[in-house]
Amino acid sequence: MALRDYKAEAAEIEQKQAAEYLAEVLAVLPWGFRKFIPKEYWSTYHKAGFYAANSFLTSLKDQAKKISYRLALDDDQLINEAEAAARMCERFLINAGGNYDAAWYMAEAYALNKKVDLPDTEKLGVYPAMMRLCDGRWWRRALRKVHARGLESLAIKANAVNLMRSTYASTDTVKRRGEQKARNARILENIKAVNEVGDEYSLAELAGLNVSNPAIRRAELMTRIKGFEVMADQAGHVGEFYTLTAPSKYHSALSRSGDRNPKFQGYTPRETQAYLSKQWAKARAELQRAGIKPYGFRVVEPHHDGTPHWHMLFFMPFGQVLQCREILRRYALQVDGNEPGASKQRFKAVAIDKSRGTAAGYIAKYIAKAIDGFALDADLYGNTANDAARNIEAWASTWNIRQFQQIGGASVTVWRELRRLKPEDTSANEFLERVRAAADRGDWAEYCNLNNAGQVGLMLSDELEIGRYGDVKAKRVIGIQTALGNLLGGGDEVITRIHTWTIGQPNQQGEAAQLEQGEAAAPWTRVNNCTKSNEELEKLASLQRQARGEFSLLVESGDYLESQFWEFYEEWSFEHGY
């Protein structure tokens, strides 16, 4: 009589249980995940055993539960969910007998359950906050963001974002972002802007003429970087190129094989970006105390698994280089600095050798890679330049990561306003004309030298405009002004926004096309030099709270003064493509 093979029987039972649990988890995940999760699960099962494989599945299941509505919703269904959420909040208001404080108490709990970012009642007031929660368009934006980030977090945990599967962002996120951009483009094509003299353009045409156009955006960034290099040459300063990377626990996949990183602790790219920003704020504050004021640019790009890292091109006096390196390295290694490879990978410094090329050349490829892939053939992982740029744009949009930040130098917002003007507009003020001429010819170095202490600033409208939700809108930029004024002779204020534009759908066909996509038709509205739809303008206003979080870190690190928020916000909006 043959002996029973209990070991084989146990293994068979274990595999059966593993298969059942795999089927259970797959049932609650989107279809797009089901094609690679089984392979990932069984690979983990055979390499690390039953417990490790099931822990992997459990983490995915827990992540899925964090999103309170179905993961497989398409955009039309999300729009329906948004309208239902708005009607629910309206019922809260009705049930509260019009008492906004009581209604907010119920609506706040409801919105928190949906995982959306709530309006700030301290800054806005309860009434405007409640009005947002009663608006389907507000919910539409909020749910799209939560849904997109929830799915991408799940994809990262499932190891769907790496050099072997989909680089920088998951396939589903790239596809969804492409659909969103196409939808927005159709909307902009159907909305016209007409000014008081009868000029008429579609918003798509106007967007193509400003920094919303990737080619114009890239050209402006390179102009500013080259200008900083000219300034450094004039001052006898040297260039340094730094790379800053997060600890291993922030990385979801290994850099060579694409396998899941066993040290990964579930951080999202947005959380990693917050960590890097915090370390930079601390380093920046110490640099300020040491009298070191580097100027240049910071570029954020993703590793293959979507984990952000920073490249910084800075200029400074040669005598400050060693201390600057030491400070940055110390904060780069402050967290988990003893882990294997940290000393080599977490902070890298390269002195710019002008005999081997310009400083701008060191960073040009990172600028192009992040915007449109201009003049590049492929990235490090074999993706074409266009595909890499597409995936990186989807990554930055999903996680709301600011890709480019100017460090030091004069205001780029003032620079853009000056470039609207003609010589006759500033001929009455000799100094202002010199600044305008420098901006007009694209001489960033001369412009910064002339406006290094904010001698020319923005002029904001004194009009108080009440927004859709009952709160006061951000003041509009209407021109520029100089603090020097008549001391140099001539006027000290110049209006740059001379036209009043009316925007809206020109005909029923355009309105129908917009409504077909589930978007609310924009009414004809009078605005000053507006090149965006009403819905987009309101979206910008709702993003102010997010911008303030980053702004507070920059104030702490000395990059900005508290009074410069609106200037920062316009640049922040530009960097995010809004």
Residues known to be catalytic: 362, 366
Spatial separation of the C-alpha atoms in residues 326 and 469, rounded to whole Å: 49
Q: In what order do the strands lie in the sheet with 238-244?
A: 347-351, 238-244, 308-316, 295-302, 404-407
The alpha carbon of residue 122 and the mean position of all alpha carbons in its chain are separated, in whole angstroms, by 25
Which residues have C-beta within 8 Å of that of residue 191, sequence separation ≥ 6? 202, 203, 503, 504, 505, 510, 514, 522, 533
Q: At what angle do helices 100-113 and 75-95 cross, to 10 degrees?
A: 150
Residue corresponding to tokens 């802007």: 193
Q: Could you tell me if residue 236 is left (phi over 0), alpha (psi between -120 and 50 degrees) or otherwise beta?
A: left
With b meaning 16 or more CB within 10 Å and e meaning fewer, what string describes 285-309? ebbeeeebebbbbbbbbbbbbbbbb
C-alpha closest to that of 15 among 45, 40, 39, 38: 45
Token digits for 371? 């915007």
| Phi, psi of 17, rounded to the nearest 5 degrees | -65, -40
Spatial separation of the C-alpha atoms in residues 381 and 42, rounded to whole Å: 26
Note the helical H segments in 441-507. 444-450
Spatial separation of the C-alpha atoms in residues 88 and 275, rounded to whole Å: 37
CB 31 within 8 A of CB 172: no
Spatial separation of the C-alpha atoms in residues 133 and 89, rounded to whole Å: 6
Q: How far is CA 428 from CA 2, 436, 439, 452, 492, in A?
A: 107, 12, 17, 22, 9
The alpha carbon of residue 56 and the mean position of all alpha carbons in its chain are separated, in whole angstroms, by 29
Strands (E), 93-237: 192-195, 200-202
Q: At what angle do helices 359-371 and 214-235 cross, to 10 degrees?
A: 160
For residue 325, the surrounding DSSP H or E stretch is helix 321-332
Token digits for 107? 């609506």
Q: How far is CA 346 from CA 243, 501, 576, in A?
A: 8, 50, 26
Which residues have C-beta within 8 Å of that of residue 8, sequence separation ≥ 6? none
What is the C-alpha R_g of the chain? 26
CB 228 within 8 A of CB 406: no
Residue corresponding to tokens 């609207």: 420
Spatial separation of the C-alpha atoms in residues 168 and 181, rounded to whole Å: 18
Spatial separation of the C-alpha atoms in residues 315 and 321, rounded to whole Å: 9
